[in-house]
Structure 1
Amino acid sequence: MKRSSILATAFGAIIAASLAANASAQETLTINSFGGSYEETHRALVITPFEKMYNVKVEVVTAYSADTLAQLRAQKDNPKFDVVHFSGGLEHAAAAEDLLAPIEPAELSNYDKMYDFAVAGLDRGIGPTYSTAVIGLLYNTDQIAEAPASWKDLANPDYQNHVLFTDAASNTYGMLGLLMINKVAGGTLDDIEPGLEFVKGILPTSTVVSKSPEIQQNFAQGNAWIAPYAQDYAFTLTKAGLPVKFIQPEEGGVLAPITVNLVKGTKKRDLALKFIDFSIRAEASQGWAEALRYTPTNKEAKLSDEVAAQVVYGEDAVAKLVTFDANEIAEKRSSWNEAWSRAIAK
C-alpha cells in the first residue's frame, strides 16, 4: 500500500473515532410529546432546532399527559424524564405531589416577554404555558351572518335546533365550556347549577356529542350552526372546507394551557432549563399559532392578519381570557360529571 493511502486511511480512522467520541459524549435530554401531527409540529418548532443549537440529543417519549403523570409517580425517586409537557391541568397535580421543580424567573431569558398567566405558577413547580387553546364559540358563517357576541347567544331563538354541546363529563373542552357558561349565568365553582339550568333551558332543541369528530360531522351535515369549543378545532374544520369561524365572546374565552415543566430530581437541570426557555421564545409561540392555531403566550410573537383573525391574539384580547382553578376542577369533577349526566338525561 502506498504511503499516501496509508496516511489517508489513518486520517479517516482518526476522524471516525473523533465523531464517535463526540456522539457518545453528546448529552441527552428526555422529554415527552403527544404524538401525531402535534409531535411533528413540536419537533419542527422546538425539538430539532434545540438539538442543533446545543449539539444535544432530545429523546422523545410519546405519551399523553395522564400517562406521563403516571410515569412520573412511578419514577419519583429516579425520574427518567428531564422535562415534561402537560395539558388538561395535570401540571397542578404533579406539582402538588412534589414531582416538579420550581423555576426562578431569572433562569428564563424569555420570562419578561411572557403574558402573566403563562408564568404565574413557576414558584410552585408549574412550568410556563408555552401555548394554549382557547374555548369560545364556533359558528357556521353560512347560517349565521352576524357573529355571536356573547355566551348567552347560545339561547338565541334563531339558532334553535342547531346548537351543539360537547359532553362535559367525558371531554375537557366540554367541561370548560360549561364552566364558562356557568360563570356568565352567575354561577361559581362552588355552584354550577346556574350553568346547568341555562343548558337545560335549550337542551330539548340541542344536540350533545361526546367526541370531536362528531362536531365536524354535525357542522358538515348542517345540523350544527353554533357550538362552544376550541379555536384550534375551528381551524381543523376550516381546513376540511367547512364555513366555520371562532369567536371569543365579550365575556371572554377559557384558557386550556399546555405547559413545559422541570422534573424534580433531574440530573440535567441546566440543560432542561435551556429547553424550557427555548420552548417559550417568540418564534416558537408564533409557530404554534401558525401551525395549529394556538394562542401565543409570548407577547413578542408576531402573527399575520390571517392567523391573528383566527386566534385570541394581542394584549387586549388576552386580558379577557378566563382561568379556572385546575385543582378545584380535579376535586369537583366527579360530582360535576354526575350533575351534567343527570341534566342531559332528562
Structure 2
Amino acid sequence: MKATLGTAVLGLSALLGTTAFAQDNTLTINSFGGAYEEAHRACVITPFEAATGAKVNVVTAYSADAFAQLRAQKAAPQFDVIHFSGGQEIVAAAEGLLAPIDKASLSNAADLYDFAKADLANGQGPAYSIAAIGLVFNTEAVPAAPTKWTDLLNPEYGEHLVLTDISNGYGMLSFLMLNQVEGGDLSNIQPGLDAVGKLLDAGAVVVSTSPEIQQEFAQNDAWIAPYASDYAFTLRKAGLPSGFVQGEEGTPASYITANLVAGRPNNELALKFIDLEISAEAQKCFAEALRYSPTNAKTELSPEVAADVAYGEAGVAGLIRFDPATIEAHRTAWVEEWNKAIAR
C-alpha cells in the first residue's frame, strides 16, 4: 500500500500544482469507521493533507446518521464533503442540501464510468467505489462454484446456505436480486418472499450481521451466502477458503458517493478532495485494502484483486442499482413482510 500512497501523493501534487486556497484550509467530512475509515485515511485523507497542507476533520458517521446531521444543519452546514453508501445523495440533492458539480472542476471525472457521474449537475456526487453484491462461497466445500443467482435454489446447498436479514443493506440488495430472478420487481416482492420461504424450508439460516456470516462459515459448515465482494476477502483474511462471483443475471451495487455540501465557503478545496477520491490511484488503494470495485476506468488492479471485484468494462456492465428512493419508501413495509416470511 505504501507504493500506492506515494503515487497518490505525487498524483495529487501534480493535480493541485501551485494553487493557493484563500479560504479556510480545513475540510470536515464523514467516514464510516473501522476498517473503512482506516483505508479512507490511508488512500485519500493522509495523501490529501500531505499534498495540500490542509487539515481534514473526520466525523465518524454512517450514511443514515450523516444524512440526519446534514438535514439538521441545513441552515448552517458543518460538512464540506459528505459520503453516502445508501443512496441518500438522491434525496439530499432534491432537498437542496448538496451543490451541483461541474464535471470540468474534476480532472478525473472524464475517466469515470458513465454511471458514476450521471447526476453531477443535479447535485449527486460521483461514485468513487462500489460494493458489488454477488455470491460468496466456500471454495473447498461447494460441489461446484456457483455462477448465477438461481444457483441459490440448488437443493444441494440446503442447510449450507446463509441469508442476511434485509435490515442489513447488503441483505436488502441480495433479497431484491433474488426477487428479480424469481420474476418480481420493486412493485412486487412476493416472488422473493416465496423463494426465501422455500430456502428456509430446505434448511437455510438467516443472520443479521457480517460477523454472523463469518461464524457460519467458520463453525457451521456454510457453503454459500449472497453478500458483498469485500466480505469474501474478509473471510479469506480470517483463514477461511472463500471466493466471490458475480451472478450471470446481474450484480446489485451499493454506490459509495462523495458529495459537495451546499452553502459552504471552501468548495474549491472540497472539490480537490473529491477529485482525489475518484482518481485511479485512490481507487486502486481502496480495492487493495477493502476489495471495493473501482469506478475509474483507468484503475489497474492485479489479477488477485481483480478477481474479488467488479472490474473493467465487462465487470461493471452487469451492475444493477435498485432505486434507493423506492427502497427507502417501502423499507418499513418490506421488513414487516420479510419478518412474517422468516417467522418459522
Q: 1:288 matched to which residue of 2?
A: 286
Within the candidate set 12, 25, 29, 1:31 is matched to 29
Alignment of 1:1-346 (within 5 A): 27-168=25-166, 170-204=167-201, 205-346=203-344
- Give the CA deviation at 1:215: 0.4
Aligned partners of 2:23 and 2:265 also within 8 Å: no
- Give the CA deviation at 1:26: 6.4
State the Cα deviation string for residues 165-194 of structure 1 (Å, max 9, x = none).
0011x2111110010011111111001111
Structure 1 residues 244, 32: CA separation in 2 closer, same or farther (over 3 Å shift)?
A: same
- Give the CA deviation at 1:158: 1.2
Q: Which amino acid aligns with 1:337?
A: V
Aligned partners of 2:176 and 2:189 also within 8 Å: yes
Range with greater deviation from structure 2 (70-79 or 260-269): 70-79
- Give the CA deviation at 1:51: 1.4
DSSP 3-state at the match of 1:158: coil
Q: Which runs of 4+ in 1 moved over 4 A?
A: none
Aligned counterparts of 2:298 and 2:309: Cα–Cα separation in 1: 15
Aligned counterparts of 1:279 and 1:289: Cα–Cα separation in 2: 12
Q: 1:18 matched to which residue of 2?
A: none
Aligned counterparts of 2:194 and 2:275: Cα–Cα separation in 1: 44
Instruction: Among all aligned residue pairs of Structure 1 and Structure 2, give the percentage whose two residues are the same amino acid.
Output: 59
Q: Which amino acid aligns with 1:210?
A: S
State the Cα deviation string for residues 44-90 of structure 1 (Å, max 9, x = none).
11111111222211111222222211211121111111111111222
- Taking only aligned residues, the RMSD between alpha carbons, in angstroms, comes to 1.6
Greater Rg over alpha carbons, structure: 1
DSSP 3-state at the match of 1:137: strand
Aligned counterparts of 1:275 and 1:323: Cα–Cα separation in 2: 25
Aligned counterparts of 1:116 and 1:190: Cα–Cα separation in 2: 27
Q: Which amino acid aligns with 2:176?
A: L
Aligned partners of 2:101 and 2:125 also within 8 Å: yes
- Give the CA deviation at 1:36: 2.0
State the Cα deviation string for residues 22-50 of structure 1 (Å, max 9, x = none).
9x996111111122221121111111111
Q: Figure out how many residues of one structure are paired with residues of the other and give that number.
A: 323
Where structure 1 has 5 or more consecutive residues not aligned to the other structure, the ranges are 1-21
